[in-house]
Structure 1
């Protein structure tokens, strides 16, 4: 009985164990089934998306950047393709050793290493950075044969920007450059749609029109959906959306005229802005000295940057947009118009000019070339009388001068379609209080400070863009436009052109008889006044005004000697002008820094600009050489038809890239 009882207990325990094991197995299967339902049903959409993302790679396709052309269709900015050797620092164990080894395969110079180091400081560790750009076909083949030695290093085909005119028009065109960390952070605030359009984009407009019209020039990014293997290799293309190229900018600039003016300056410093007063279109926008924007496209090297940045002549400064200067005697026609418009002085009022004007115990003088005698408004402008305008400034006062001339665009931004413009200074009592807010002792305006304003000195400081806009308004009897560098934008896909009209501002209420007085006087300057020699024999009638402005202030009683003065402290040479007198089609302002009298350096440049625009004449080589030295008045030699003069400085993109590769 005992044996049977034990057997029965063993069977019971066995059955329990079998049932427990079966229950456990069933429980496990239930868990698996529940997990399967969860994955296949509940998480289906999420896991499908993850699986697709592992299997499918979306590769952005960067669009071709839009072209920039001048008013005659000459290409000023284009694109070309070249190979770059790039390193992803996060994938390289020893960066220095890798670069040293690469230098045995392709040439890597010291400046390449310094540029790569700077790019690393500005970028994230996982980004692909160029160590060499514009590789030759031989260098590409040499690296491809030894690629297995360099994990984290690869050859990429990149689009590069090319500025075929080199230094010509650099300040207005600007340049593109690699997007830095500060710009990336700023881009995070962009709308998602706009930000997504920059996926894969590594370059952006940094200056000039490249920056101002970035969204027009960039285009729309395309994409490729590629099926990949487990190893990440592309298997086949699933979908494709081609990129849309950027739009083409058609400028109002005549690049031949731009190149001529820059050539006339040669090594001298200064700025010239020429405007069509009928529309506000800018015909020339010159700042000298200039620079080659091609240096910045793939990252400027430290030596070139130091050379540009430390140059005493400041080639990176856009003098047309950001250089402010006292206008000197070019301010006098505006003072005369302010007197007429405010009723402070009529055109026939005579002032006895004895060459000196005393006020507050101080004597204000006149240039040695001036002549004494009675002068009305016309003669005061033609002969550039200082005494006439000293007394006028005293009668008007600083605030009335400000209120009358501010509408001409002096002392405020013109809102031209490029960034970085400065306001300049058209002083007033309120301006001085604000300017010296931290120095209460200097906030008061003294009557003696008003006197020098009448001849364009004192606190007066304007850009040549402001002066050109102001003389344009004066010559047209009050018509005002916002100046514009871009006249059309062309959609290269739809082949549609969109006109960019300059915004017409409310005209100034100038009386025609007052305008006639000033225009007649400025025409007299070119016939019997200070610019008569420069405009001798011109085939058109123009109006102008010379100016000679102090680059530095002189103490009371201190004599100025141009011969002894340091070159950078000598007087500036200025000229403002418009032509033809009957119906102006061009107005300009020009300054040649530290070049002395306006009649000797600035006015001759203006004459050659007018000859180019109004008569289609290009100066002779002899005339250009003499004008560069400030030794001409009217043109010399045989002028040439503009169409027959080859465009200087143009270098095809392919040749530029080849030369860059060969130089290594």
Structure 2
């Protein structure tokens, strides 16, 4: 039987299928056109930028770091360029050790370079380059360049390096820079200035290098560089030059700094000199010092261990972070308090029997048998402890605290360095808080005040605080903020800006009382019996000064004998001064740790400093047995001669008796 096909039906089905196919084709082409429109029109700017980024690189140009110079233009920190061999770990195609071994065939790589590299590698990110060798010679650069194709991920870079040409001189002032570690990198990225640190590998770590980082760094520049498909630069399309960092012009006189550091020799201690009228810090010495150049490339482990474990603590910034009882250098301020608060007249005197009794407790003077008749002027000149025992008892601790605070005792000076300690200006409130976990020790007792009155007991101040207080006295109560940076010179315009343009405040004092205390301090260096008279004999100028000796440890009632105790437990020697007395140009405070009497050890250092600053006289080179560099401090015959005294801890022990015998002072 023959099948008859339905032609119309077949044609209808064919047309339906064709229609569906055409619609699908148009839909696909429509989607494709829509995608093209989306990419080419709507997202044009985005993908154009990405394409340009693949072709054009934005390369940061690190600015020259600002210079640091002293007040006379002597360079303390500068820059120089050198070649560095650097490895980017993420780009290596072989193991790190094998690559370094191969590189050692071309350039000299010592074990200390490998150790430093491993330490820096731990602190860096994998995509950041890490220096393996610095300061490559031209021959080493040429040898590596010829074999560069063998070492993907290894490059020779031209870098700017920091140099401190004077080495240890003023090392605690200038500080140093170092490579940015992971913690610092995270802090930079979270900060407002992150873009300005693109391409920067080093930042200030200590001293002025850290404090003034944002001024010294400058402004990063950029280059738009066209690159090939292989990533090689073809041409520079545009360039925004970097702005060099600002230069720091210090108030420090580096020659005075050298004189003082040489005068200290091998002895430990701190020295600060300030111009009272301006607050300029003329010298800032912390002994011993260190070479900041060790830190620039990453300090090696041996040098770090030597510095970090030394008993002399060369990394400690003593004027800022070391705190010391002021000893008898506190007495001129006590005498001024007596006049200002009406507790003593200028003519008030006592017969000094060599001791003071309070509540059945005896507090000895440093001179057995006493000083005889002593008035207020003479009490400063001969440093009579008995006079100040009585005065302190009459004033009371709260009055002493309130009078001393405006001079800067027990508070930060605001000097332009970080990590300044506050020290301790004691009061009843302070002691209650200090010993809040020991109720028996919270009460302020009479012996506490007696100790405070001669600069012992809970008294504890930094040398920058003591120098600041002396400068405030020398400047008749006008307070100038102490500062190390006098001027900031803009890296682009060379415009200079004063860091401290005006006074901070004024301490309300009667000029006649100030003049009286100044004259008493002149007597210290000029009158018979003055504790600093020997050190300032034939000075050629009139200096006002005050010696001080402060106990380091309590002797529990025993007699002090320098030979009988460990060298590091001996008394600290202190001295404060300003000169010329009638119109002060310089005020100083210093401490020589564990050196004995202030008159024997500290005053001669002050004399050398003042001789140079006021007269231009340089001291002769020290003899090997007189505290020269490399020699141990000498205990002189004068330092060994002792008078009986009742010694007590620098701070009374918790739960002590109602009256505590203080350490007496020897000058």
Deviation at 1:296, TM superposition (A): 0.9
Give 1:69's aligned residue. Answer: 69
Deviation at 1:437, TM superposition (A): 2.7
More moved, 19-28 vs 445-454: 19-28
Q: Distance in 2 between matches of 1:429 and 1:632?
A: 38
Structure 1: state its 5+ residue gaps.
634-664
Cα-to-partner distance string for 1:131-154 (whole Å, 9 max, x where unaligned): 222212222222222222222111
Give 1:206's aligned residue. Answer: 205
CA contact (8 A) 1:222 1:244 kept: yes
Deviation at 1:195, TM superposition (A): 2.0
Give 1:175's aligned residue. Answer: 176
CA contact (8 A) 2:263 2:608 kept: no
Is residue 98 of structure 1 aligned with residue 99 of structure 2? yes
1:85-484 equivalences under 5 Å are 85-92=85-92, 93-191=94-192, 194-368=193-367, 371-484=370-483
Deviation at 1:500, TM superposition (A): 2.3
Q: Distance in 1 between matches of 2:160 and 2:277?
A: 39
Q: Distance in 1 between matches of 2:624 and 2:58?
A: 57
Give 2:551's aligned residue. Answer: 550
Give 1:641's aligned residue. Answer: none
Q: Distance in 1 between matches of 2:542 and 2:197?
A: 52
Deviation at 1:35, TM superposition (A): 1.3
Give 2:576's aligned residue. Answer: 576
Give 2:32's aligned residue. Answer: 32
Cα-to-partner distance string for 1:300-348 (whole Å, 9 max, x where unaligned): 1222111111000000000011111111111111111111111112221
Q: Distance in 1 between matches of 2:464 and 2:406?
A: 15
More moved, 623-632 vs 367-376: 623-632
CA contact (8 A) 1:601 1:627 kept: no
Q: Distance in 2 between matches of 1:134 and 1:369?
A: 65
Deviation at 1:449, TM superposition (A): 1.3
More moved, 282-291 vs 521-530: 521-530
* Counterpart secondary structure, 1:143: helix
**Change in 2 beyond 3 A, CA 1:46/1:509:** same
Give 1:600's aligned residue. Answer: 600
Deviation at 1:353, TM superposition (A): 1.1
More moved, 413-422 vs 624-633: 624-633
Deviation at 1:621, TM superposition (A): 2.0
Q: Distance in 2 between matches of 1:435 and 1:112?
A: 49
Deviation at 1:8, TM superposition (A): 7.2
CA contact (8 A) 2:219 2:243 kept: yes
**Change in 2 beyond 3 A, CA 1:173/1:313:** same
Q: Alignment length, in residue pairs?
A: 630
Q: Distance in 1 between matches of 2:358 and 2:105?
A: 77
Deviation at 1:188, TM superposition (A): 3.6
TM-score, with length taken from structure 2: 0.90
Deviation at 1:359, TM superposition (A): 2.4
Q: Distance in 2 between matches of 1:591 and 1:239?
A: 58
CA contact (8 A) 2:392 2:450 kept: yes
Deviation at 1:462, TM superposition (A): 0.9
* Counterpart secondary structure, 2:600: coil
Q: Distance in 1 between matches of 2:14 and 2:500?
A: 97
Q: Distance in 2 between matches of 1:171 and 1:369?
A: 42
Q: Distance in 2 between matches of 1:80 and 1:332?
A: 50
CA contact (8 A) 1:226 1:239 kept: yes
CA contact (8 A) 1:604 1:632 kept: no
CA contact (8 A) 1:623 1:632 kept: no
Deviation at 1:569, TM superposition (A): 0.6
* Counterpart secondary structure, 1:295: helix
Give 2:532's aligned residue. Answer: 531
Deviation at 1:291, TM superposition (A): 0.4
Is residue 610 of structure 1 aligned with residue 602 of structure 2? no
CA contact (8 A) 1:360 1:448 kept: no
CA contact (8 A) 2:354 2:368 kept: no
RMSD, aligned CA: 2.2
CA contact (8 A) 1:600 1:631 kept: no
* Counterpart secondary structure, 1:457: coil
Q: Distance in 2 between matches of 1:346 and 1:32?
A: 103
Deviation at 1:30, TM superposition (A): 2.2
* Counterpart secondary structure, 1:58: strand
Structure 2: state its 5+ residue gaps.
637-667
Deviation at 1:19, TM superposition (A): 5.0
Q: Distance in 2 between matches of 1:624 and 1:540?
A: 29
TM-score, with length taken from structure 1: 0.91
Q: Distance in 2 between matches of 1:78 and 1:316?
A: 22
CA contact (8 A) 2:477 2:507 kept: yes
CA contact (8 A) 2:65 2:217 kept: yes
Deviation at 1:25, TM superposition (A): 3.4
**Change in 2 beyond 3 A, CA 1:111/1:222:** same
**Change in 2 beyond 3 A, CA 1:331/1:96:** same
Q: Distance in 2 between matches of 1:127 and 1:102?
A: 19
Cα-to-partner distance string for 1:620-663 (whole Å, 9 max, x where unaligned): 22579746477899xxxxxxxxxxxxxxxxxxxxxxxxxxxxxx
Deviation at 1:508, TM superposition (A): 1.3
Q: Distance in 2 between matches of 1:141 and 1:7?
A: 88
Q: Distance in 2 between matches of 1:449 and 1:530?
A: 26
**Change in 2 beyond 3 A, CA 1:441/1:151:** farther
Cα-to-partner distance string for 1:433-487 (whole Å, 9 max, x where unaligned): 2222333332221111111111111011111111111111112221211101111
Give 2:565's aligned residue. Answer: 565
CA contact (8 A) 2:353 2:369 kept: no
Give 2:664's aligned residue. Answer: none
Q: Distance in 2 between matches of 1:512 and 1:551?
A: 36
Q: Distance in 2 between matches of 1:502 and 1:353?
A: 48
Deviation at 1:94, TM superposition (A): 1.5
CA contact (8 A) 2:596 2:635 kept: no
CA contact (8 A) 1:370 1:383 kept: no
Deviation at 1:7, TM superposition (A): 7.4
Cα-to-partner distance string for 1:112-147 (whole Å, 9 max, x where unaligned): 222222222222222111122221222222222222
Deviation at 1:20, TM superposition (A): 4.9
CA contact (8 A) 1:600 1:632 kept: no
CA contact (8 A) 1:285 1:320 kept: yes
